[in-house]
């Protein structure tokens, strides 16, 4: 099971580290290894959330996610995206931007740092929308019951999460963005840039999430009628299936996963510049980490981990919310990548511990004939 799920990750790790050592020496080997660990720690919450979406897909689309999806993640976000940032902000062609990254890495880093406010606003608002739509929904299990239950009631108001997100963006644009962090410790007014980028992040979430939700609903309706369609087809001498409908639904879920992964990649890509300016070392290290994120996602799906540990998804979404806030804060204040990594890991670890505790309480209640009301309440709420 481990080799089947992590085989490609192990292979890419060996190839990437060997390439770094052969072409650039042991320093590159160490930097690539550090970047790999950084990407995994920053994106573990991404894997947990991905698993919640991926488990709805069939095995074919899970394979697509691990093959075509990884190409998009590695070459799109970890290599092409930083180049595009410089190309747009410096008004250079993509080839010129690559030459700048190779010939003048310090200048390349300066340009990426100056583009950080727009990147952080877009990614922060996209991630904030994910968190808000999770926290404003009524769920069978609540991890922090005293907070989640009243918020679920507020979520009944149409468009409430969008309103909260836009209010947060307006507050950020009029306070934090008025003195945005730039290279060399300088600051500049980036209010307009942050406002436009943040709105783009919200619109991207609404568009991709809306499309995936639409096709999910179509898929559920199709599954309810699957038996009738198959019977009718057999009587007519045909052998139809719901592959087309399922394919469309899975395709838009796949797009949603890719946009989600891209948003999670923002902090990793920017944080990598704190370690190295070498674009190819960054691509190798972050690419290796991205492979493990996908393998962890598949492992969580196949092992049913999200079902066994009821609060793990809660912890991941709280980590998403924390990351969104940190991204918005980082528009003005430079934050070390260790801070964002520790937030996510800590919240997921706490949710995992709460899940184990709830499982033990459930087992004790079952063995003891029901236990006390207090224990049952604790198992449901996680507190």
Query: DSSP readout, 188-205?
Result: E--HHHHHHHHHHHHHHH
Position 350 scores a pLDDT of 87
Position 307 scores a pLDDT of 64
Position 241 scores a pLDDT of 47
- Report whether pLDDT(63) > 90: no
Position 357 scores a pLDDT of 87
What is the pLDDT confidence band of residue 222, given thresholds at 50, 70 and 90? low
Percent of the chain with pLDDT over 70: 74
- The helix, strand and coil proportions of the chain, stated in percent and rounded to the nearest 5, come to 85, 0, 15
Between these two residues, 357 and 79, which has the higher pLDDT value?
A: 357
- What would the mean pLDDT of 277-290 be, rounded to a whole number? 80
- Report whether pLDDT(316) > 70: yes
**Beta-bridge partner residues of 181:** 187
What is the pLDDT confidence band of residue 243, given thresholds at 50, 70 and 90? very low
CA distance 158 to 175: 28
- Report whether pLDDT(277) > 80: no
- What would the mean pLDDT of 149-162 be, rounded to a whole number? 83
Statement: the pTM of the whole predicted model exceeds 0.85:
no
What is the pLDDT confidence band of residue 14, given thresholds at 50, 70 and 90? very high
Between these two residues, 134 and 250, which has the higher pLDDT value?
A: 134
- Report whether pLDDT(105) > 80: no
Whether the CB-CB separation of 356 and 310 falls below 8 Å is answered with no
- What would the mean pLDDT of 351-378 be, rounded to a whole number? 71
Whether the CB-CB separation of 258 and 61 falls below 8 Å is answered with no
CA distance 116 to 177: 11
The pLDDT mean for the chain works out to 76
- Report whether pLDDT(194) > 50: yes
Between these two residues, 248 and 330, which has the higher pLDDT value?
A: 330
What is the pLDDT confidence band of residue 244, given thresholds at 50, 70 and 90? very low
User: CA 52, 55, 57 angle in degrees (round to 5)?
Assistant: 125
If you search the block for the tokens 């796949």, which residue do you land on? 254
Q: Give the range with max mean pLDDT: 57-61, 170-174, 216-220.
A: 170-174
Number of domains in the chain: 1
- Report whether pLDDT(38) > 50: yes
Position 149 scores a pLDDT of 84
- Report whether pLDDT(213) > 90: no
If you search the block for the tokens 């520790």, which residue do you land on? 342
Q: How far is CA 149 from CA 24, 135, 156, 310, in A?
A: 54, 9, 12, 16
What is the pLDDT confidence band of residue 22, given thresholds at 50, 70 and 90? very high
**In 3D, which of 112, 92, 132, 49 has the Cα closest to residue 267?**
112
- Report whether pLDDT(137) > 60: yes
What is the pLDDT confidence band of residue 167, given thresholds at 50, 70 and 90? very high
CA distance 131 to 147: 14
- Report whether pLDDT(29) > 80: yes
Percent of the chain with pLDDT over 90: 5
Position 230 scores a pLDDT of 59
What is the pLDDT confidence band of residue 18, given thresholds at 50, 70 and 90? very high
Q: Specify the length of the chain in residues.
A: 383
What is the pLDDT confidence band of residue 17, given thresholds at 50, 70 and 90? very high
Domain hosting 118: range is 2-381
Position 242 scores a pLDDT of 41
**In 3D, which of 249, 289, 121, 274 has the Cα closest to residue 193?**
121
DSSP string, 271-301: HHTTT---HHHHHHHHHHHHHHHHHHHHHHH
Beta strands 180-181 and 187-188 are antiparallel
CA distance 251 to 257: 10
Position 297 scores a pLDDT of 77
CA distance 67 to 83: 23
């Amino acid at each position: 099971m481990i080799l089947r799920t992590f085989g490609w990750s192990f292979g890419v790790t060996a190839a990437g580290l060997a390439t770094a050592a052969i072409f650039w020496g042991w320093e590159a080997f160490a930097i690539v290894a550090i970047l790999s660990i950084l990407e995994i720690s920053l994106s573990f919450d991404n894997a947990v959330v991905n698993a919640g979406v991926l488990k709805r897909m069939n095995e074919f689309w899970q394979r697509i996610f691990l093959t075509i999806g990884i190409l998009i993640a590695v070459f799109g976000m970890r290599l092409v995206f930083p180049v595009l940032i410089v190309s747009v902000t410096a008004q250079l062609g993509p080839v010129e931007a690559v030459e700048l990254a190779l010939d003048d890495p310090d200048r390349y880093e300066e340009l990426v740092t100056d583009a950080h406010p727009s990147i952080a606003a877009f990614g922060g608002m996209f991630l904030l929308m994910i968190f808000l739509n999770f926290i404003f929904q009524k769920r069978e299990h609540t991890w922090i019951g005293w907070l989640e239950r009243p918020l679920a009631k507020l979520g009944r108001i149409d468009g409430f999460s969008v309103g909260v997100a836009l209010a947060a963006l307006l507050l950020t644009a009029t306070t934090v963005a008025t003195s945005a962090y730039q290279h060399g410790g300088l600051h500049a007014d980036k209010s307009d840039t942050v406002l436009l980028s943040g709105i783009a992040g919200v619109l991207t979430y609404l568009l991709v999430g809306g499309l995936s939700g639409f096709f999910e609903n179509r898929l559920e309706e199709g599954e309810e009628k699957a038996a009738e369609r198959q019977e009718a087809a057999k009587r007519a001498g045909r052998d139809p299936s719901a592959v087309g409908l399922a394919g469309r639904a899975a395709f838009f879920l796949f797009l949603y996963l890719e946009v989600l992964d891209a948003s999670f990649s923002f902090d990793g890509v920017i944080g990598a510049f704190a370690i190295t300016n070498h674009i190819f070392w960054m691509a190798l290290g972050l690419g290796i980490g991205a492979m493990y994120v996908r393998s962890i996602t598949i492992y969580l799906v196949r092992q049913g981990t999200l079902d066994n540990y009821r609060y793990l998804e809660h912890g991941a979404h709280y980590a998403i919310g924390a990351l969104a806030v940190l991204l918005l804060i980082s528009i003005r204040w430079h934050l070390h990548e260790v801070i964002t990594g520790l937030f996510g890991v800590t919240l997921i670890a706490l949710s995992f511990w709460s899940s184990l505790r709830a499982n033990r309480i459930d087992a004790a209640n079952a063995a003891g004939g029901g236990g006390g009301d207090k224990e049952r309440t604790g198992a449901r709420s996680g507190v």
